Copies of this chain bind each other. A is one copy, B any other.
């Protein structure tokens, strides 16, 4: 870490990883934190519990397809769900700038309520702080979440059962959230409106788990994008990942925006996308279960686990070349979630 904190330290990419390893993990080190999973798996008496936290600072707070309130519920629900847990309870903590319109607060709270109902979680505790004008930008929301983790899904969050030939599935188009938020921030007009994919994925994930498909790992693809997720999966692994670019689902309008602004959709944030690693034999079963679900209609296999290129994620491009996919460096779109 340099002498000061940079925007990139909050990008979810390489600098965030460095900050976590060199500062947080250095001091807070313990076996649970060391796993660096989306949710911590903790044990209370004989029960396994998933526990996660996220602060939301998205700008603007209202964007096509969602708002900071909906995002704060979905994001935390998804962090629990990808660990194999059933999301149950949510805490909400608000930091509000003095003078924030009460009407907007109520709109945000209504979104949270609706999304909590949709996801089937209960908001059980909360906190409110108000700071003077100029001391925060409108409103920041933290949600933490608790879920019940069935012992049979305990290995999912660590991915320790991954092996060569396992298939990599995602549940639909990448890049929608990032481009929708950027568009709203910059007041861009799109020919076809791009909506954030912001959604709670716990019901979709439950459907896959219940289908009997052998799910070995899941992660929601948020800050840092698909590139950062796949690169993290193979960090220090004896396996590699191979991604087939032509299978990657990207909306035409998102691809167009990325070309104009020089972004790579692989690094754009999503808020309703999950990457699953599933055994080869059960991959069709997983796809079938997903395709029946609203948030999984466009589910597709995008690659597989390889024994070539251990520790690396490799993208095989449409034109026949291949390149290594690395984590996001720097910060492309600050305050995306």
Contact of A3 among B103, B112, B113, B135 (CB under 8 A): B103
| A331 neighbours in B (Cβ, 8 Å) | 130
Q: Is A298 an interface residue (CB 8 A)?
A: no
Give the interface segment out of A120-128, A189-197, A199-207, A315-323: A120-128
| B-contact 0/1 string along A84-128, CB 8 Å cutoff | 000011011111111111110110011011001000001111111
> In the complex, which residue of chain B has the Cβ closest to the Cβ of A133?
B7
Q: Are A127 and B9 in contact (CB under 8 A)?
A: no
In the complex where A51-B89, A146-B51 touch, is A334 in contact with B30 (Cβ < 8 A)? Answer: no
Give the interface segment out of A52-60, A244-252, A279-287: A52-60
Q: Are B102 and A53 in contact (CB under 8 A)?
A: no
Complex-state Cα separation, A103 to B57, whole angstroms: 24
Complex-state Cα separation, A4 to B134, whole angstroms: 15
Complex-state Cα separation, A89 to B144, whole angstroms: 12
Q: Is A131 an interface residue (CB 8 A)?
A: yes
Contact of A100 among B4, B96, B110 (CB under 8 A): B4
Complex-state Cα separation, A148 to B33, whole angstroms: 19
Instruction: Give the Cβ gap from A116 to chain B, nearest Cβ, in Å.
Output: 8
Q: Are B5 and A127 in contact (CB under 8 A)?
A: no
| A4 neighbours in B (Cβ, 8 Å) | 98-102
Q: Is A152 an interface residue (CB 8 A)?
A: no
Q: Is A160 an interface residue (CB 8 A)?
A: no
Complex-state Cα separation, A10 to B131, whole angstroms: 8
Q: Are A113 and B32 in contact (CB under 8 A)?
A: no
Q: Is A142 an interface residue (CB 8 A)?
A: yes
Instruction: Give the Cβ gap from A209 to chain B, nearest Cβ, in Å.
Output: 18
Q: Are B131 and A57 in contact (CB under 8 A)?
A: yes
Q: Given known contacts A33-B125, A54-B127, A93-B142, what 18 new A-B pairs fall within 8 Å (CB)? A: A4-B100, A4-B101, A5-B97, A5-B100, A5-B102, A9-B96, A23-B106, A28-B113, A30-B123, A32-B125, A33-B122, A44-B44, A44-B146, A53-B125, A53-B142, A57-B129, A135-B335, A146-B146
